[in-house]
């Protein structure tokens, strides 16, 4: 039985059920139109015509071309995101965003939100056990509660001092102290060694070691560079080794150990009875391996890119040198207290990180139908609500965010002065992610970089190591592309030359 109403002098009979359906239908259509309109607005979500999803099969194995988006598609389109089609043709529904305010709604760490971090996004890190990076919800909370206290001022002091020691050890052992010019054909190899040394030998595990004779840990030092098959084959042996290490540390900690490496700190935080969260041994091992992977690939790649940028920006190098000399002097050693005063040194690292963000995408999925609040384009007030259906992937396009003109004037320009005078932990710097689930190793990486670069730049002038007849400009152009292998970094070898600064005598 319908009801009637009048419109323009005529009576209409309406079935309430169909009226309801029509209204719902229109409502849904309105939602779809709003979404399509939104997707067509370049500054909301990056656009790309693609035959396959970059995060599906076969998309993730294909290179980025004009018709398909590979894993590094966001790098290729970082400067021009104008194509009109939403990137959804095949595969699960996915939305990529380069907006930090949208990211904040998705990457919260809280188990009370409608988004979670899918395990497949961290699959490679799960072979050693559940860990902080791969977990979500209550599990994540537990791991973070143990990590929090482990990343403390004692650890940071050790990071700073060990980096200084590593630098001096390297200079001595590799004979730099007897040379005026040192050529390094692959800067990445140098920084990887420094970081592997730092993380695995000194600050991660606390093994006694030196640059010449890396800790005798049965190949452990080079494990992160081994292929996964090799790693898996070594798995059992290493698991036994780790088990023994944990047992040893538990005894040490109980006896009041003063060691401050991350491994010991984790065991200590885990033993702390006032902490109601506890990890089992397998989880501890999972986290130790994560520290090695998450910790040094990223930092090493960024440090190498920083050296590359210094080689082609003399003016910036001189400016940073002036700060280093005024804070540390011509001969002294940088102290941890100097860290806040070396903001220009940190800025050259942060800016390299902005331009080559190693964590190039952060992946989440909607656990239920929900709404995202998306700010209007720059210059327009307000925001729009975008309906998201359960199962949709939301990807923070980190490259897009770091090249987003909403946040950065002239984003394609290497300009460390953007960061001068800002606190090291400023949330304006977003390449370590934002909010409660941001990178827990941010300060760890920043300290390593600042301490190492301070000594290196004070004592050595970095210039490009040119090929025969190559100009500095051509060298610079070679360094401009990026490559994705687990993490994003400069695509080519970075060949640099270190020339001794005369003031160091
Ligand atoms: C330049 C260096 C680094 C960059 C760019 C970086 C970037 C990031 C980003 C973007 C995340 C968030 C990932 C996500 O939510 O999906 C993250 C998480 C994490 N990072 Fe880093 N990271 C760096 C260095 C380090 C270091 C040195 C360590 C350890 C010493 C570390 C340990 C971790 C851990 C354990 C997490 C997981 C945190 C959580 O989920 O609660 N990272 N990192
Ligand atoms: C740099 O490291 C790579 C990978 O380990 C190696 O193949 C290459 O020979 C190294 N190059 C130099 C010049 O040390």
Q: Are 261 and 392 members of one domain?
A: yes
Shared domain check, 272 and 143:
yes
- Does 187 lie in the same domain as 61? no
Residue with tokens 């890119």: 305
Binding residues are 439
Between 57 and 2, where is the model more confident?
57
Closest to 252 (Cα-Cα) out of 218, 206, 221: 206
| pLDDT band, residue 5 (cuts 50/70/90) | very low
Shared domain for 194 and 245, answered yes or no, is yes
- Same domain assignment for residues 274 and 180: yes
Atom of ligand 1 nearest to the CA of 438: 12
Would you state the pLDDT for residue 333?
93
**H or E segment to which residue 11 belongs:** strand 10-14
State the total domains in the chain: 2
Residues 14-19, mean pLDDT to the nearest whole number: 58
CATH number reported for the structural domain that contains residue 133 in this entry: 1.10.630.10
141 and 71 in a single domain? The answer is no
**Among 198, 227, 186, 102, which Cα is nearest to 489's?**
186
| 349 CB-near residues (< 8 Å, 6+ apart) | 302, 303, 306, 446, 449, 450, 453
Mean pLDDT of the chain: 82
> What's the token pair of residue 370?
């929900």
Atom of ligand 2 at shortest range from CA of 192:
2
Start-to-end Cα distance in the chain: 99
Angle made by CA atoms 11, 13, 19, in degrees to the nearest 5: 125
Q: Which domain holds residue 76?
A: 39-91
pTM of the model: 0.86
Say if residues 133 and 389 touch (Cβ distance below 8 Å): no
Q: Return the structure tokens found at 271.
A: 């033993």
Residue 439 Cβ inside 6 Å of ligand 1? The answer reads yes
Question: Is the C-alpha dihedral spanning 423, 428, 431, 434 positive or negative?
Answer: positive
Residues 6+ apart with CB under 8 A from 321: 457, 458, 501
Closest Cα to atom 1 of ligand 2: 189
Q: What pLDDT digit, counting tens, does each position of 382-405 carry? A: 888 888 888 888 888 899 899 988
* Distance between CA atoms of residues 275 and 9, nearest Å: 74
pLDDT at position 89 is: 34
pLDDT confidence tier of residue 464, bands split at 50, 70 and 90: very high
Domain termination site, one of 25, 59, 91: 91
Helix or strand run (H / E) with residue 366:
strand 361-366
Q: Is residue 344 domain-shared with residue 433, that is, in the same domain? A: yes
Output the pLDDT for position 260.
83
Does 119 lie in the same domain as 78? no
Record the tokens describing residue 42, joined without a space: 């370049």
In which band, very low, low, confident or very high, does the pLDDT at 285 lie, cut at 50, 70 and 90?
Answer: confident
Confidence of residue 79 (pLDDT cuts 50, 70, 90): low
Ligand showing the shortest atom-to-Cα distance for residue 304: 1
Q: Taking the CB of residue 156, how many other CB atoms lie within 10 A of it?
A: 18
| Closest ligand to residue 226's CA | 2
Greater model confidence, 92 or 267? 267
User: What is the DSSP track for 169-196?
Assistant: HHHHHTTGGG-SEEEES-HHHHHHHHHH
Ligand 2 lining (C-beta closer than 6 Å)? 185-186, 189
Q: How many Å apart are CA 87 and CA 45, to the nearest integer?
A: 10
| Joined tokens for residue 252 | 């040490």
Mean pLDDT within 75-84: 56
CA dihedral 316→322→328→332, nearest 10 degrees, is: 100
Does 122 share its domain with 80? no
pLDDT attached to residue 329:
95
| Ligand 1 atom showing the smallest separation from residue 151 Cα | 30
pLDDT at 227: 55
CA distance 439 to 198: 18
Q: Average pLDDT, stretch 251-272?
A: 87
pLDDT at 12 > cutoff 60: no
Ligand showing the shortest atom-to-Cα distance for residue 183:
2
Per residue in 335-359, pLDDT (tens digit) is 999 999 999 999 999 999 999 999 9
CA distance 294 to 231: 16
Cα 184 to ligand 2 centre (Å): 11
Distance between Cα 442 and ligand 1 center (Å): 7
C-alpha of 137 from chain center: 21
**Are residues 346 and 476 both part of a single domain?**
yes
Question: What confidence score (pLDDT) does residue 121 get?
Answer: 83
Give phi and psi for 299, each to the nearest 5.
Answer: -65, -40
């Amino acid at each position: 039985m319908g009801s009637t109403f009048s419109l323009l002098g005529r009576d209409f009979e309406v079935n309430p059920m169909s009226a309801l359906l029509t209204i719902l239908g229109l409502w849904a259509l309105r939602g779809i139109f709003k979404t399509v309109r939104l997707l067509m607005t370049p500054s909301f979500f990056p656009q790309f015509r693609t035959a396959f999803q970059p995060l599906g099969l076969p998309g993730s194995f294909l290179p980025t071309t004009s018709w398909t988006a590979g894993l590094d598609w966001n790098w290729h389109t970082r400067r021009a995101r104008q194509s009109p089609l939403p990137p959804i043709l095949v595969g699960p529904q996915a939305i990529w965003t380069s907006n930090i305010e949208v990211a904040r709604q998705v990457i919260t760490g809280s188990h009370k939100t409608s988004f979670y971090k899918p395990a497949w996004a961290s699959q490679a890190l799960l072979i050693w056990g559940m860990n902080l990076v791969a977990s979500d919800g209550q599990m994540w909370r537990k791991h973070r509660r143990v990590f929090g206290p482990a990343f403390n001022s004692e650890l940071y002091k050790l990071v700073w001092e060990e980096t200084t020691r590593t630098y001096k050890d390297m200079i001595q052992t590799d004979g730099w102290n007897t040379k005026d010019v040192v050529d390094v054909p692959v800067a990445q190899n140098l920084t990887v060694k420094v970081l592997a040394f730092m993380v695995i030998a000194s600050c991660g595990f606390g093994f006694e070691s030196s640059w010449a004779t890396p800790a005798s840990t049965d190949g452990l030092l080079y494990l992160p560079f081994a292929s996964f098959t090799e790693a898996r084959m070594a798995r059992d042996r290493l698991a036994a080794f780790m088990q023994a290490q944990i047992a040893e540390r538990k005894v040490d900690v109980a006896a009041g150990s003063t060691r401050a490496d991350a491994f010991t700190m984790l065991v200590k935080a885990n033993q702390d009875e006032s902490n109601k969260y506890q990890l089992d041994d397998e989880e501890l091992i999972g986290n130790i391996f994560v520290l090695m992977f998450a910790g040094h690939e990223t930092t090493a790649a960024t440090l190498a890119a920083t050296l590359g940028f210094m080689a082609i920006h003399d003016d910036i190098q001189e400016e940073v040198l002036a700060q280093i000399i005024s804070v540390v002097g011509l001969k002294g050693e940088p102290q941890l207290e100097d860290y806040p005063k070396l903001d220009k040194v940190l800025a050259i690292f942060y800016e390299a990180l902005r331009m080559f963000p190693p964590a190039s995408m952060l992946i989440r999925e909607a656990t239920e139908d929900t709404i995202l609040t998306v700010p209007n384009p720059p210059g327009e007030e307000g925001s729009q609500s975008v309906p998201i259906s359960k199962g949709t992937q939301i990807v923070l396009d980190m490259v897009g965010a770091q090249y987003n003109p909403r946040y950065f004037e002239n984003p394609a320009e290497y300009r460390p002065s953007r960061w001068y005078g800002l606190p090291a932990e400023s949330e304006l710097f977003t390449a370590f992610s934002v909010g409660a689930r941001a990178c827990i190793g941010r300060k760890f990486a920043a300290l390593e970089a600042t301490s190492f670069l301070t000594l290196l730049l004070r004592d050595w002038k970095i210039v490009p190591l040119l090929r025969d007849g190559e100009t500095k400009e051509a060298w610079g152009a070679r360094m401009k592309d990026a490559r994705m292998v687990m993490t994003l970094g400069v695509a080519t070898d970075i060949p640099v030359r270190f020339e001794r600064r005369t003031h160091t005598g």
